[in-house]
């Protein structure tokens, strides 16, 4: 609920049908600009996407589409190095 509340405050009183992909892009950019971790942003995106999916099912005869696009709005998280690389245990194998 808190993720949906944050998004609701961002779009203010805008009707759901008026929320566009660009507006959602702005939301993602704002979240990134606040220094939030990618995992936090992705969790929020997932919650919002689920909400829109629910609403669209409720209006099943309608042609309205969700403004949330998984591939476009997913923030890529950095990956950690394997522990043998991170702690330099591979160095004895290199000749220099």
Query: Model pTM greater than 0.85?
Result: no
Burial of 6 (0-12, 13-18, 19+ CB in 10 A): middle
Q: Which domain holds residue 12?
A: 1-63
- Does a structural domain hold residue 36? yes
From 74, 30, 87, select the one nearest 48 (Cα to Cα).
74
Number of domains in the chain: 1
- Does a structural domain hold residue 82? no
Give the tens place of pLDDT for each residue, 7-16. 999 999 898 8
Helices 38-58 and 21-33, packing angle to 10 deg: 160
- Does a structural domain hold residue 46? yes
Q: What CA–CA distance (Å, rounded) separates 22 from 8? A: 16
- Does a structural domain hold residue 92? no
- Does a structural domain hold residue 19? yes
Give the tens place of pLDDT for each residue, 23-71. 888 998 999 899 998 889 989 988 998 998 888 888 776 677 777 765 5
- Does a structural domain hold residue 3? yes
């Amino acid at each position: 609920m808190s993720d949906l509340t944050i998004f609701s405050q961002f779009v203010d009183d805008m009707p759901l049908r008026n929320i566009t992909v660009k507006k959602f892009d702005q939301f993602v950019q704002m979240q990134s600009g606040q220094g939030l971790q990618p995992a936090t942003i992705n969790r929020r995106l997932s919650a919002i996407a689920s909400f829109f999916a629910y609403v669209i099912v409720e209006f099943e005869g309608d042609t309205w589409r969700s403004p949330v696009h998984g591939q476009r709005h997913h923030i890529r998280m950095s990956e950690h190095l394997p522990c043998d690389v991170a702690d330099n245990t591979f160095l004895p194998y290199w000749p220099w």
